Chains A and B, each alone.
Chain A
Amino acid sequence: MGLLRRHRRPQPKIDPLVADLCGVLSDDRVRVDGAERALMARDASVFRGGVAGPTCFPTSTAEVQAIMRVAELHGAAVVPRGAGTGLAGGAIPLGAPIVVSTGRMNRILDVDLVNRVAWVEPGVINLDLSRHLQPMGFHFAPDPSSQAVCTLGGNVANNSGGPHCLAYGVTDAHIAAIEVVLIDGSVIMLGGLEAEPVGYDLRGAFVGGEGTLGIATRIAVRLTPNPPAVRTLLLSFDTVRAAAETVSAVIAAGIVPAALEVMDQRITVAVENFVGAGYPTDAAAVLLAEVEGSPAGADIDAERLETIGRANGATRVRRAESEEESALLWKGRKTAFGAIAQLAPDYYLHDTVVPRAALADVLEQVYEIAERHDVVVMNVFHAGDGNLHPLLLFDARIPGTLDRVHAAGAEILRASLAAGGVLSGEHGIGVEKQRFMGELFTDADLDHQNRLRRAFDPVCRANPGKVLPTGHSCADIQALRAVPTGVWG
């Protein structure tokens, strides 16, 4: 995006920052070419206009430490980066900082079955870890839809969720310890394998810190035993409201399924055209539910779920007869975003949370808001958690379209807040939602969040310009030479 035209190709050996970085990493692991900087300038969000400085590819904690020391010497900001699949602009570099990519720190270091943890480097891909653990009878429970590409470091930094976090909890509940390199170059172990690590819960404070608290270099993730039996059900409904109300009724009945996912008709049709999983294209909404446990217990829960669904208007209930059928139903859900590519060149994937009881009402508002702004909306979301994901489809080449998308997005946010919800359930704040933080929190609340942040990074050089609105984020503003375009103002 004009990057190549605006910036002359930097001269690696002349720029003193780059020279110093090359002094601590091998030359081939410090990249300053235009292609690399363009690649690092964005993530999977719709926000553009990030400007990357040199990108480093460390392979060890010591090298990350050395990078931090060089950064300190030059007063440079540092942005950690995993796979760049974040949707809130968390990894977008503001003000040409050093980008630290964890791409080459991707080893599974140790699987410790006695303590039920695995030690991994931050660049390990989420799904690779679960595949590695599978034969041992375990998996890593948080399963973002992006799990085939996103990294555990990114999961930790964003406190990521996924369909199976309803019963098991989000990433935070599955991280025992994290080795972090702080902005001053010190290496700190947060948390531990003990039942209750001594002191403040710095591990819990770090998870979800969106790269503003330091760089995770080693992570001890908890292992979850694979369930003996799984039952996958697909329920069809004539209205989205009936599907949403079924979700509340299931929880109120004391069942906490492993997953409760809702897809509306538009997305169901798109998915069906894409993967042919046998999803009903005539239903206004489908509810994909999964219960697990022993074979007998899972059958009881599946039976109860079916009964509750029918009592709330389910017109059809399909129970997967085999593992293959179950996998196919899940493939439909997990490739939903891929399916969109057939329909529009761009999409904006929103992420808000509302109380479950408000799901149906807020969804109705979402459809109304989208229509008013002349934007196509589809909904596929973690209904069990009240976590909405309206997908706004658009074509960025048509002038003015993105503005309408953002206007609709802002209204959806406000509708969620008005219903007693929050700004984000799993994608984070990044640059996307920081302007709205003041609509949820008071100045005192934000000031206290900044106190937490400053305890890790008193100088505000770790991923500046994210999460907290300017005015609440210490010296961030000085570090920024560019504000990304597309940020709502």
Chain B
Amino acid sequence: MDAVEESTLTIVDPVLLAFADEVGASGPVAVAGGRTRWDVGGSLDPEARVLSAPSGVVAHQPSEMTVQVRAGTTVAELDAELAAHGQRTALPDRGGTVGGAVAVGENPVDVLARGRLRDAVLQVRYVSAEGELVTGGGPVVKNVTGYNLPKLMTGSLGTLGVLAEFVLRTNPVPPASRWLSAEGVDPTLVFGAVHRPAAVLWDGLTTWVQLEGHGVDIDADAVALGRLSSFTEVAGPPAMPDHRWSLTPAEALDLPAHVDGDVVVALGVGLAWASQPQPPRPVTPEVAAVSARMKENFDPTGRLNPGRSVFA
């Protein structure tokens, strides 16, 4: 049988190998991105060495709908590269890095249009607790070759591996986009009146809806919405209250009636933003047990992002 030529999966970037050396095989370590979500998961053990992940967009292939990007790249820089070719990803831009966005795993406001962040991570390269460079997933849009390490790493807060590089799925930017807003309209009717809204937000009184797609479709959707209430064109979504909540879509609909202060709910998704923080969400002993084994298997000495936990 012929020997295999080198697959793109096995070609390893010297920049990443140097990063693996920097992480090394012992001592507590963490990575700082833009520090925009620095407090998620608890506060870092002061003993930990704080590193920066390598940066740069390695390869963007618009016709493959993929981009290979190092973790330290800012989301803004990635967005600029993609936008120049009429594309985008599911990563929210809060002024941070790609690695930070994937480690935290939070979806963008218009998740209905862009898709979930977790579904965008096709391949991940990270440095293991033993200091080795590990690859999971693959550089193509469809892949079931082996266990899904990209899913496991996304939202893991860097507690299972030090995230170094990703291949992300991209999507075309739709031809047109508009935000409309109206007061006093039932947001569930809005959600039902439009085939695939990019976002429907509601604060208990006002509804905002983002329409995306072909101009003709947006016009038709706007007419359909006009039959429900008098919608006016607005620049974008409202300013969100500070605290992000994750709920079921049904629970989120009830939220404005049940908490004090400002609330904005994303319909059909279950995300909400409120002026008060979400109460802790308990996990079952079974989930805790498998998660503890996961942490133990990937980081036996507990050196990765110490002090932080996905359950905090």
Measured CB to CB, the residues of A under 8 A from B are 112, 114-116, 158-159, 161, 165, 169-170, 172-173, 182, 186-190, 192-202, 204-205, 207-209, 225, 227-228, 248-249, 251-252, 254-256, 293-294, 296-297, 300-301, 353-357, 382, 385-387, 410-411, 414, 417-418, 420-429, 433, 437, 439-442, 444-446, 448-449, 451-456, 458, 467-468
Q: Is B206 part of the contact surface with A, judged by Cβ < 8 Å?
A: no
16 cross-chain CB contacts under 8 A: A112-B250, A172-B148, A173-B116, A194-B251, A201-B154, A204-B118, A204-B152, A252-B62, A254-B173, A353-B143, A356-B64, A385-B142, A444-B133, A448-B298, A452-B148, A452-B294
Contact A187 B286 (CB under 8 A): yes
Contacting residues, chain A, for B141 (C-beta < 8 A): 385-386
Contact B4 A452 (CB under 8 A): no
Contacting residues, chain B, for A301 (C-beta < 8 A): 214
Contact B144 A159 (CB under 8 A): yes
Contact B64 A355 (CB under 8 A): yes
Contact A251 B270 (CB under 8 A): no
Q: A194: which of B133, B151, B268, B270 is its contact (CB, 8 Å)?
A: B270
Q: Is B229 part of the contact surface with A, judged by Cβ < 8 Å?
A: no
**Contact A201-B152, Cβ < 8 Å, known A188-B286, A445-B134:** yes
Q: B310: which of A193, A199, A418 is its contact (CB, 8 Å)?
A: A199
Nearest A residue to B66 via CB reads: A355
Q: Is B220 part of the contact surface with A, judged by Cβ < 8 Å?
A: yes
Q: Is B301 part of the contact surface with A, judged by Cβ < 8 Å?
A: no
Contact B147 A467 (CB under 8 A): yes
Contacting residues, chain A, for B156 (C-beta < 8 A): 200-201
Nearest A residue to B245 via CB reads: A195
Contact B144 A427 (CB under 8 A): yes
Contact B146 A437 (CB under 8 A): yes
Measured CB to CB, the residues of B under 8 A from A are 1-2, 4-5, 7-10, 61-65, 86-87, 105-107, 111, 115-116, 118-119, 128, 132-136, 138-149, 151-152, 154-156, 160-161, 171-173, 195-196, 213-214, 216-217, 220, 246-253, 266, 268-271, 281, 283-284, 286-287, 289-291, 293-294, 297-298, 310-311
**Contact A199-B311, Cβ < 8 Å, known A353-B143, A442-B10, A455-B294:** yes
Contacting residues, chain A, for B250 (C-beta < 8 A): 112, 114-115, 193
Interface of B is mostly: loop
Contact B287 A201 (CB under 8 A): no
**Contact A293-B148, Cβ < 8 Å, known A194-B270, A195-B246, A451-B297:** no
Contact A439 B286 (CB under 8 A): no
Give the CA-CA distance A484 to B64 in the complex, in Å. Answer: 37
Contacting residues, chain B, for A254 (C-beta < 8 A): 86-87, 172-173
Contacting residues, chain B, for A414 (C-beta < 8 A): 1-2, 4
Give the CA-CA distance A350 to B138 in the complex, in Å. Answer: 18
Contact A195 B269 (CB under 8 A): yes
Nearest B residue to A168 via CB reads: B115
User: Which 7 A-B pairs rank lowest in CB-CB distance, beginning with the nearest?
Assistant: A204-B151, A254-B172, A195-B270, A188-B286, A252-B63, A451-B297, A418-B5
Contacting residues, chain A, for B139 (C-beta < 8 A): 355, 420
Contact A200 B142 (CB under 8 A): no
Q: B291: which of A202, A382, A428, A429 is its contact (CB, 8 Å)?
A: A202
Give the CA-CA distance A243 to B252 in the complex, in Å. Answer: 46
Give the CA-CA distance A353 to B144 in the complex, in Å. Answer: 10
Nearest B residue to A199 via CB reads: B310
Nearest B residue to A201 via CB reads: B151
Q: B8: which of A208, A357, A420 is its contact (CB, 8 Å)?
A: A420
Contact A357 B118 (CB under 8 A): no
Contact B310 A441 (CB under 8 A): no
Contacting residues, chain B, for A423 (C-beta < 8 A): 145
Q: B146: which of A114, A444, A467 is its contact (CB, 8 Å)?
A: A467
Further 12 A-B residue pairs, CB within 8 A, beyond A196-B271, A417-B5: A115-B250, A159-B144, A169-B115, A172-B148, A173-B115, A195-B247, A225-B196, A300-B214, A357-B64, A423-B145, A449-B147, A452-B152
Contact A114 B1 (CB under 8 A): no
Contact A189 B284 (CB under 8 A): yes
Contact B138 A353 (CB under 8 A): yes
Q: A205: which of B65, B148, B246 is its contact (CB, 8 Å)?
A: B148
Q: How far is the CB of A489 from chain B (nearest CB, A)?
A: 11
**Contact A255-B134, Cβ < 8 Å, known A170-B142, A411-B2:** no
Contacting residues, chain A, for B213 (C-beta < 8 A): 293-294, 297
Contact B290 A437 (CB under 8 A): no
Nearest B residue to A386 via CB reads: B140
Give the CA-CA distance A120 to B64 in the complex, in Å. Answer: 34
Contact A440 B152 (CB under 8 A): no
Contact B294 A200 (CB under 8 A): yes
**Contact A296-B172, Cβ < 8 Å, known A254-B86, A454-B293:** no
Q: How far is the CB of B77 from chain A (nearest CB, A)?
A: 22
Q: How far is the CB of A174 from chain B (nearest CB, A)?
A: 10
Nearest B residue to A195 via CB reads: B270
Give the CA-CA distance A477 to B49 in the complex, in Å. Answer: 41
Contact A445 B249 (CB under 8 A): no
Nearest A residue to B126 via CB reads: A448
Contact A200 B152 (CB under 8 A): yes
Give the CA-CA distance A22 to B2 in the complex, in Å. Answer: 52
Give the CA-CA distance A387 to B138 in the complex, in Å. Answer: 13
Give the CA-CA distance A310 to B266 in the complex, in Å. Answer: 42
Contact B145 A429 (CB under 8 A): yes
Contact A456 B290 (CB under 8 A): yes
Give the CA-CA distance A385 to B250 in the complex, in Å. Answer: 34
Contact A293 B291 (CB under 8 A): no
Give the CA-CA distance A414 to B6 in the complex, in Å. Answer: 10
Contacting residues, chain A, for B5 (C-beta < 8 A): 417-418
Contact B294 A444 (CB under 8 A): no
Contact A355 B61 (CB under 8 A): yes
Give the CA-CA distance A433 to B143 in the complex, in Å. Answer: 13
Contact A205 B152 (CB under 8 A): yes
Contact A411 B1 (CB under 8 A): yes
Nearest A residue to B10 via CB reads: A442
